[in-house]
Amino acid sequence: MHRRRLNKLRRYNDLPSFIEALPLYPTRIIVSRGIVRLYIFLFGFLSQCNVIPTAFGLPFLRITDMLVISTLPILYLVYIRLFNSALILTHIAPIMFAFLTCLFFFTDRRQGELYSSVFTFLYLLYFLPFTFALLREGCLDLFCWGILAGFATTTIFLLIDLYVPYTLTKIGLALVFDYEAVADAAAKGDYNAPLLRFEKAGGLWTHGNEAGPVFALAAAAAASLTERRRNFFIFASFVAIYLVSFSATLNRSGMGTVVLIGLISYMSSFSNRKITLTLVYGCIGTLIGSMVIFFGSFDLLDGAISKRFLEDENASSNIFERLESLGYGIQVALHNPFGIGLAARMAAMNAFSNLGTPHNGFVSTAFTSGILVGFFVVSSVAYMLFRYRKVRFFLYVAVTLTCGYFFEELDFNAAFMCWAGLLIGYTCLDLDYRLVRGRAILRYLLKLFKSQQSVCPEATSLSSVNS
């Protein structure tokens, strides 16, 4: 019993100070807590099951884009009392400065390329009050459940689109993809990016190399809920569904992300109960796997794993090419610090070699929105990795975002924009407390303590002892 209390106290003390002080932060205005909680769950769901509004004639790529642009002023109004000079100087002002410099000094922007740049900044601004709402209103678990529900739903849509194409495109639950037109173009020698979708299904996303990392982002929610609820079955269920999606997406980086998150979560704390549960689940998994193999139902997943991890002879050269393209991408970004258009950057990269992409989300963020925004994202990731006291969900957010960005240009993806916004918002809230708000709260508590002591010294001393 004493050991459990000690472990609970240690976990509590590992939280940053601003989490403990949240009850003293200003609360919302106008909107009720129930509406905020419902909206946060819905946003978590839609961040994974990100419906395509163009199917209904709306000029947005993703439904979360609609939510962000329509509710941004509302969210700021609801939590307007949160903002102080520190948050304005560390978050809002730098982002607005980066946005204006990107808007006026962007290199060779072509039609349609302004969309990604604008929404990158909108997501970053949006997730400061959103992150505060997650923590202040106690909605983090709800947000995680919403993400997992959206992930499971999107996996179902992925399989439906894989086996019954064109069924979901009319209602915005699968990306429009003309298989016959792309096949005819390939037969004529016109090889382009959509060809990837033939081998790697994408469902709601362009192809498997985008869908796989997006699905892997849900590992952060699964690991967080597993630790908070002390229920390994949550993460095991997530992994089982992810394996099903992997049989279609064939994305190695996403699978590696899920494995890494699982290892970090597992190594976070050891106990006899955890070891026992590991053995039990291992035996059950082995039994189920043996039955599945016996009936021949494992062939699809087995083929996917063999194809991507065992039979791929280009794996080593692929790693070398990505490192090489990363170096060239950094050079192009430094020469264009306020962003550069797609065609111009491909031409600049091809001038170094035949690699037209840096294969890196951090560098492509600098391409899309300027090197300053890329620095914000990298700094927030580093802050989360090296900050000792933190909410572990945001650690998993940093790891999943980093793993996705290391292998693909995913800065344009709405789910990754959410993750970048969450990290930067959380970092600024933590810094705000450590630099400014923490001292003000301590002064307030000291003043309150002295006033109570002057009124009733015996009750005050007794309450302080009990606390």
Please report the DSSP string for 208-221 in residue order. Answer: HHHHHHHHHHHHHH
Q: What pLDDT score was predicted for residue 297?
A: 46
DSSP tag of 340: B
CB 121 within 8 A of CB 127: no
Q: Distance between CA atoms of 379 and 385, rounded to whole angstroms?
A: 10
The whole-angstrom separation of Cα 414 and Cα 240 is: 25
Gap between the Cα atoms of 142 and 288, Å rounded: 31
The model's pLDDT over 136-184, given as tens digits with 9 standing for 90+, comes to 999 999 999 999 999 999 999 999 998 888 899 999 999 988 777 777 7
Counting other chains too, the contacts that 44-47 makes at CB distance below 8 Å and 24 or more residues apart are 44/142, 44/143, 44/144, 44/145, 44/146, 44/147, 44/149, 44/150, 44/221, 45/146, 45/147, 45/149, 45/150, 45/153, 46/150, 47/146, 47/147, 47/150, 47/414, 47/415, 47/418
What does the alpha-carbon distance between residue 428 and residue 87 come to, in Å, rounded to a whole number?
7
* Per-residue model confidence (pLDDT) at position 261: 96
Strand partners, 107: 340
Q: What is the longest distance spanned by two Cα atoms in the chain? A: 89
pLDDT of residue 2: 43
- CB-facing half-sphere around the CA of 150: CA atoms within 13 A: 29
Which of 249, 264, 55, 228 lies closest to 145, judged by CA? 228
What's the pLDDT at 130?
A: 98
Alpha carbon 274 to chain centroid, angstroms = 27
Report the distance separating Cα 239 and Cα 232, nearest Å.
Answer: 11
Name every residue whose Cβ is closer than 8 Å to that of residue 403 and which is 6 or more positions away in sequence: 213, 216, 253, 256, 257, 260
Contact 400, 216 (CB under 8 A): yes
Q: Specify the pLDDT at position 457.
A: 59
Stated pTM of the model: 0.88
User: Looking at residue 181, what is its pLDDT?
Assistant: 72
Residues with Cβ < 8 Å from 431, sequence gap 6 or more? 86, 90
Distance CA 209, CA 73 (A): 34
Q: What percent of the chain has pLDDT over 90?
A: 57
What is the DSSP code (8-state) at residue 170?
G
| Residue 52 CB coordination number (10 Å) | 21
Distance from C-alpha of 352 to C-alpha of 330, rounded to nearest angstrom: 12
Q: H helices within 33-187, ranges in order?
A: 33-48, 63-78, 85-87, 93-105, 114-136, 140-163, 179-187
Q: Which stretches of the chain score pLDDT less than 50?
A: 1-3, 5-12, 296-298, 309-310, 459-467
Closest CA to 149 of 227, 234, 56, 231: 234
DSSP code, position 30: S
CA dihedral defined by 312, 314, 320, 326, rounded to 10 degrees?
Answer: -80
Tokens 């439904």, located at residue: 63
CA distances from 50 to 204, 250, 414, 415 (A): 7, 21, 8, 8
Question: Bridge-partner residues for 340, per DSSP?
Answer: 107
Cα separation values, 443 from 10, 59, 130, 257, 463, Å:
26, 50, 27, 44, 19
Q: What span, in angstroms and rounded, lies between the C-alpha atoms of 277 and 257? A: 23
Query: Distance (Å, rounded) from C-alpha 6 to C-alpha 26?
Result: 31
Hey, what amino acid is at 215? F
> pLDDT tens for residues 58-87?
999 999 999 999 999 999 999 999 999 999
Q: Per residue in 316-341, pLDDT tens?
A: 556 677 778 888 889 999 999 999 99
- Specify the pLDDT at position 456: 64
What pLDDT, on the 0 to 100 scale, is given for residue 211? Answer: 95
What pLDDT does residue 255 have? 92
Tokens for 443, please give them: 């002064």
> Which pLDDT does position 160 carry in this prediction?
94
